Each structure stands twice: as structure tokens, then as C-alpha cells.
Amino acid sequence: MSLYVTELRRLVKRRLTRVMLVLLVLGLAGVATALAFSSQQRSPAVIAQARADADAQYRQAVKDWEKGIAECEAAQGRGEQTEERYGPNCGRDWQPQPEMFDPEWSLPYEFDFRDEFSVLVAVFAGAVALFGFVVGASFVGAEWHTGGMMNLLLWRPKRLAVLGAKLAALLSLLAGVTVLLGAIWTAVFWLIASTRGSTAKVTAGVWQSTGLSGLRALALILAAGAVAFALASLGRHTSMALGVAIGVAVVSEIGMRIGMEVAGVAFGDRYVLSTYAMAWFQKQHKLFDYDACNLVQGSCEPAELVVTWQQSGLLFGIGSALALVAAFWTMRRRDVA
Amino acid sequence: MSAVLEIEGLRKTYKSRRRGVRNALDGFDMRVEAGQVHGFLGPNGSGKTTTLRTLLGLIRPDGGRMAVLGQEVPAALPTVAGQVGAIVESPQFFPHFTARDTLSLLAGAGEVPVTRVDEVLELVGLRDRAGERVKTYSLGMKQRLAVASALLKNPKLLILDEPANGLDPGGIREMRTLMRDLAESGMTVVLSSHILGEIQLICDSVTIISLGRRVAFGPVDQVLAAHSLGTVRVRLDAAEDLAAAAEVLGRSGVPVTRHPDHLMLSGVEKPASVSRLLAEHHLYVSELAPVSVDLESVFLELTNTAPVPGQHRQVDESVRIGGAEQSGRAGGGWGA
């Protein structure tokens, strides 16, 4: 227990942890502020104004249409060719209709908590996962690199207990930060929706779904931190984890995508990691094989492949577990030289 | 006297596809008695740090036996670790932590009372700078912090690898006094250092390692006596008689080295016999002085690491004094 508490203290005292936490909070605050400023509640006055604007646009369009017909007829009277400029029948068939000017288009953006908060949960999870990855990698990588791990092992010559205490401290911090910031994130957007947006149709079911999204976000954040921790421990350097992350981003997100496209592999995106991240948050993610369509023969319903959140969970879970097992195994076996 | 540290036949081999096999430790033995300050000496790459790391559980040995405070290690290391304080090479600390933070985190990990932190800070002279970040410390101050971290547990066995590294002359003297005080309080200190004058001053006994093997051990005065080789300096009343004296001594089987104003003899068991022999040939001695060896010369002789003009000795190599022949890399070097 004392080792765990000490490691938690060490993690919190680290400058990188504090700097990254400040950057994370600033980043999240920036997103919330931008959304708060761009959202405007659709009050009856705003809706009436939008309707008036749409009506004015319609009337102006009718005037322009009538003017065009008059100009066309005048040109025909002068014996000029008009069809190219005004269209057949001087464009009389193109009379503007009121439904072409939907007041909705004139309404300002209004943040809808029910429809849009799930996306913001994903944004939050991505930001905190990045925080967890960097802090997790550095927590063990810098210890190896500076000799701090050797110092610690001289004090507590129980390698697995030391690495386990460090991992537990990291995951505790990430869980605490996620829960605390997640609660604030939810409260802030609820406040924005209440004052500058809409909280309509937010039922108990919506809250339940939001809660489950939050749990999935927490799992992803913990997995990101654990994988970074494991990679940095395997390589005994922070850059090992960051290098693998960049490598995966380049190979999976760019290389694999292009390679599969060139090779004509159906549902090539199933080999791309971000597909599974999206499925994890959206519960499922559909991939379409448009290459199977022959559009010359008319419309086509492309074949689809559904990636579920359970599949994503299995992939991320097995990946994280393998990385951690490898890290603990090498910690037990390798010399500390 | 009971042994606090025992090592027998310790072996550690590194294998590399590119460089072959290297025996970092090749049947190394060591024994340190309780309450002693014990010097652990060896040239760079001789296996000192590997020995300490193996003893402290950082490196897995390939063979041999080790015991600390009467318990077999590494098996009993978790049990005895609380009684062993160690610094291996120059430990690095997080630059943004203060000295007090650094020590208090270590104290937490080792379940040591936090009050001990101030005690050791006082002991190593860092009390007034304890609140400053380690990155502002000089090398000597970091070394003091390292020693403080090793003392934190109030250990029975203190292992210090180059503790005087970076210390100013005053600091070296303070460290010497500290080592002696600790030994007098009952603590056993194992000191690895290249400052051989310091070792000779403060250590009761030494172990010298070369190419992964022990080449000398025992109380310092015994090691020095065993390697003094009966060297005697001889001066004569008349310097022009040196050639004749050298001839007389050479004929009687005494190895002689001529210098412009004196002769150096070796292997002389009774200096008085030299005086008598020369007097019989009407050569009169004005000075007959046994030359005492110091630890440095013994070290250089035993490890074959004395500088030889025109040669650039590489790490892991031992060069024979007085010749270009290399003793090879059979022990510590990368071999086939």
C-alpha cells in the first residue's frame, strides 16, 4: 500500500503530469467556450425572425423572377435570342416556391444536448486518452531513462510489485481525472444546453446511454494509459511508446488505408484502428463496399460490414492485455543494467 | 568476525551474436567482515558495478553464491533490502523534484519514517538546500543526495559506488570522516572508488578485481606488504661508484635498476645484507631505504593497467608493465 501511495504521490508531483493536465483542461475549456459562443437558443423571437427572413428571401426571389421575365420579353421584342440567357419560356416554369425558403436555414446554430453530447463524449475521451498515453508513457519511461527505476528497485527489490504499483497509481489517476473532468464536462454542456441551446427530449434513456458512453470512454482512456505504460516499460524509454503510436498512426491510418484501396480489398477499413475506435463509441460502425456496385445499371445497395463495439472491446482488451503481459514478463526477466 | 557480505564463484556472462561471449564476472570471490570499511577496487570494465548490481538483484547471475547479512541473495533480497543502503554508479534524480521530495518519496517506498529524511539531509550537509530543485545542484551536491538516499534506511550494510565523485576537497574529507563515523557506529561500508589514496586512508580491507576475477584481498596493510617486493633504494658516498655497485649486486643475484644518482633493488629480504656486501667491495652506502609501496602502485601492478609510453590501453585490456605484450581479453574482454 505504501508503495502504491508513494507512486501516486510521485505521479502527481511530476511536472509533465501537471503541465499535461493544465493543457488538457485548457483544451477542453476551449471546446466548451467555442461551442457556447456559437450556440444560440431558438426562442420564439428568434424563430419569428427566421421566418420573417425566409419570407423576405422568398419575396425577393419572386421579384427577381418577375424582373427576369420582363427583361426576357423586352429582349424578345428587340428580336434577340433569349433562351441561352433566360432559359426556355423566359424561365416562367421556374417560379420560386415558399417551401424553397425553409426558415430552418435562417436559424442560428443551437446546441442540442440529446443529439450532440455523445459526440462530445468521444471528443472528451480522445483528449483524456491522449493525456493518459503521454503521462503513462513518461511515468515509467522517464523512470527507466533517468535511473529512478533502478533506485526504486534497490529500495524495493520486488520488480513485479514495483511495476504493478506504478501501473495501479497511473490507472487510479486516470480514472480520477476522467470521472472528475467527465462530470464537469457533462455539467458544463448541460449548462450550455440549458442557457444557449436545447435540453429537449433528454429522457432517462438518454442519460443511461450517456452513462454507458462514459463508461466506454473510461475504458478506452485506461487502455490508452496502460498500453503506453507497457510500451515505455518494454522499451525502457518514453519515446518507445510515442514512436509506436506514431508508427501505428502512419501505418494503420494512412499506409493500410491506401494499401487496401490499391489492392482492392473489400472493407479495407476493417484493418484500420480508428474504425474500431468509432465502433466503440457509436456502438457499431458500418463499412460499405462501393466497389461491388455497378452504377451503370442504376442504383445499388452496396454490401455492408458492421463492426460492433463488442468486437472493438475484444480487440482493445486483448491488445492491452498482451502489451501488459509482455511488459511484466520482461520486467521480471531482464537485467537492470 | 562474522561476514556481512559473502560472494563465492560469481559468474556473469554476456552473449552477443556480433561480439561473441564476454565473461563480465569469472568466478569472482569477495568477503566483507562486519563493522569494516571495505574498499572494492578495479579498473574500468573490470566487473565492479556488475558485481554490485548482481548482489543487489538488478542483474541475474549465471553462477556462484552470494549472501548478505547471513542470508542467501537474491532469494532473500526482499527480506534484507531494508538493511542495505546502496548507490550504484551515479544515481540520477528527477531534476524538478527537491531533495526533500526525492528522499521523502524513497522513504515512503521503503516504509522509513519521514523524520529520517531531515536526519540524513543534516548528515550529508544538505539541510539548508533541501528545498531546492535537484536540477540546481552541482555534481557534488547530487552525490551527497545519493549518499543521503543510501543512508535513509539506517542500513547495516552500506554500499557506495564512487561516493566521492564530483566532491570538492572539503567534501571528500567530510565523506571520509562520515565513512569512519558510520563504521564506528557499527555499520559495514563497502566503498568502490578510483581515488586510491582515499581508500588507503579510510579502508580496513580491500578487494581488487580485474577482468572479472579477484586478484587481491585482505587488510590494506597486508595487501601492501605482500606486494612491496622488497624494493630498496641505495645511494653511495661517491656517485661514480654506482656502476661498480650495480655490477657487484647483479653478480650476487639481486635485480638492480640504475638511476643517475641511486640504484633501485628489488627482492631484498634483508637490507643489511646489501650494506655488508657492498662494504666488502669497499663501496660505502650513504642511504639504504626500503621503499614502501602505496595502494596505487599495487593496484596498477595487479591489474596490469599502468600506463605504458606509446600504448593506448583500451577498456577491458590489461597491459603488462615494461612490455608491449597484452595480457589478452580472456577474462573481461569480448572474445570468441
Which domain CATH number covers B55? 3.40.50.300
Q: Which residue has the cell 552525490?
A: B143
Q: How much is the pLDDT for B309? A: 65
Q: What is the pLDDT of residues B81-109, one digit of tens each?
A: 889 999 887 667 888 889 999 999 888 88
Q: How many CA atoms lie within 13 A of B213 on its CB side?
A: 13
Q: What is the pLDDT of residues A211-230, one digit of tens each?
A: 999 999 999 999 999 999 99
Kindly state whether A51 is in contact with chain B, defined as any CB-CB distance less than 8 angstroms.
Answer: no
pTM over 0.90: no
pLDDT over 70 (residue A317):
yes
Q: Which amino acid is at A243?
A: G
10 Å Cβ neighbour count for A207?
11
In a domain, B324, yes or no: no
In a domain, B10, yes or no: yes
User: C-alpha distances in angstroms, A281 versus A122, A201, A309, B193?
Assistant: 7, 21, 7, 59
Q: How much is the pLDDT for B172? A: 82
Q: How much is the pLDDT for B114? A: 86
Indicate yes or no: CB of B81 within 8 angstroms of CB of A156: yes
Q: Which residue has the cell 433562351?
A: A83
Higher pLDDT, B304 or B217: B217
Distance CA B177, CA B86 (A): 18
Q: How much is the pLDDT for A137? A: 95
Q: Which residue has the cell 501505428?
A: A248
Q: How far is B79 from chain A (nearest CA, A)?
A: 9
Indicate yes or no: CB of B88 within 8 angstroms of CB of A10: no
**Mean pLDDT for the stretch of residues A242-262:** 86
Q: What is the pLDDT of residues A58-85, one digit of tens each?
A: 999 999 999 999 999 888 888 888 888 8
**Mean pLDDT for the stretch of residues A106-132:** 92
B234 and B209 co-located in one domain: no
Confidence of residue B321 (pLDDT cuts 50, 70, 90): very low
B155 and B255 co-located in one domain: no
Cβ within 8 Å of residue A267, ≥6 positions away: A287, A289, A305
Q: How much is the pLDDT for A180? A: 97
With CA atoms as reference, the chain B residue closest to A336 would be B58
Higher pLDDT, A322 or B294: A322
B86 and B215 co-located in one domain: yes
B181 and B114 co-located in one domain: yes
Cell of A255: 499506409
Reduce the secondary structure of B249-313 to three states and give it as a string: HHHCCCCEEECCCCEEECCCCCHHHHHHHHHHCCCCEEEEEECCCCHHHHHHHHHCCCCCCCCCC
In a domain, B114, yes or no: yes
How does DSSP classify residue B197? H
B77 and B150 co-located in one domain: yes
Confidence of residue A252 (pLDDT cuts 50, 70, 90): confident
Cβ within 8 Å of residue A61, ≥6 positions away: A96, A100, A101
A215 and A161 co-located in one domain: yes
Q: Give the residue from B48, B58, B80 showing the smallest Cα distance to B67.
A: B80
Q: What is the pLDDT of residues A168-208, one digit of tens each?
A: 999 999 999 999 999 999 999 999 999 999 998 899 999 99
Q: How far is A171 from chain B (nearest CA, A)?
A: 18
Which of A65, A90, A106 corresponds to the end of one domain? Answer: A106
Any alpha helices (H) in A203-272, and if so which ranges?
204-235, 238-248, 257-263
Residues B38/B189, Cβ–Cβ less than 8 Å: yes
In a domain, B75, yes or no: yes
Q: How much is the pLDDT for B329? A: 38
In a domain, B263, yes or no: yes
Phi, psi for B210 (deg, rounded to 5): -145, 130
Indicate yes or no: CB of B53 within 8 angstroms of CB of A337: yes
A50 and A11 co-located in one domain: no
User: C-alpha distances in angstroms, B107 versus A173, B84, B114, B154?
Assistant: 21, 14, 6, 11
User: How many CB contacts within 8 angstroms connect chain A with chain B?
Assistant: 71
In a domain, B59, yes or no: yes
Candidates A20, A138, A139, A154: best to mutate against B (most CBs of B within 10 A) is A154
Kindly state whether A152 is in contact with chain B, defined as any CB-CB distance less than 8 angstroms.
Answer: yes
Q: How far is B59 from chain A (nearest CA, A)?
A: 5
pLDDT over 60 (residue B265):
yes
Residues of B in contact with A152 (CB under 8 A): 106, 109
Distance CA B199, CA B78 (A): 30
Using an 8 Å CB-CB cutoff, list residues of chain B that contact chain A: 53, 56-60, 74, 77-78, 81, 86, 88-89, 91-94, 96-97, 101, 105-106, 108-111, 149, 153
The alpha-carbon radius of gyration of chain B (Å, integer) is 24
Residues A203/A115, Cβ–Cβ less than 8 Å: no
Q: What is the pLDDT of residues B13-35, one digit of tens each?
A: 988 888 788 888 989 999 999 98
A10 and A60 co-located in one domain: no
B47 and B146 co-located in one domain: yes
Domains in chain B, number: 2
pLDDT over 80 (residue B190):
yes
Kindly state whether A6 is in contact with chain B, defined as any CB-CB distance less than 8 angstroms.
Answer: yes
Beta bridge partners of B68: B5, B71
Q: How far is A288 from chain B (nearest CA, A)?
A: 50
Which of A88, A106, A124 corresponds to the end of one domain? Answer: A106
- Mapped onto helix, strand or coil, the DSSP state of residue B119 is helix
Q: How far is A119 from chain B (nearest CA, A)?
A: 38
Q: What is the ipTM of this complex?
A: 0.73
Kindly state whether A150 is in contact with chain B, defined as any CB-CB distance less than 8 angstroms.
Answer: yes
Kindly state whether A12 is in contact with chain B, defined as any CB-CB distance less than 8 angstroms.
Answer: no
Domain of B165, in residue numbers: 3-225
Q: How much is the pLDDT for A295? A: 63
Percent of chain B past pLDDT 70, that is, above it, reads 89
